[in-house]
Structure 1
Amino acid sequence: QIPEEIGNLLGLELLNIQAIKGLTGQIPASIFNISSLKTINLSNNSLSG
């Protein structure tokens, strides 16, 4: 599961969490508050949201 605290990484520009076996749960809404985030890849996981 991706922790909600990921939204505290305010300088984050690239988030690549792809194909991690066993990764499940909701995509934290806080990810979408990271204004510096330019690229996000959450493919090939069992995430929802």
Structure 2
Amino acid sequence: MGTYEMHPECKILVCFVYDPEGRIGNPVGIERDLESHGGKLKVCVIIAPKS
């Protein structure tokens, strides 16, 4: 995220993770953790589908 945060025109970073096999055990927790990183760049994380 640091590289994007330094770019003057980048205001939001959107991350999409496609997890059709449900290998991510706690997708909501990971989304929440990444979105609350505390930097000035807004981060939106979407993990789908949620099993």
TM-score (norm 2): 0.39
Q: TM-score, normalised by structure 1?
A: 0.39
Judging by fraction of residues, say which structure has more helix. Answer: 2
Greater CA radius of gyration, 1 or 2? 2
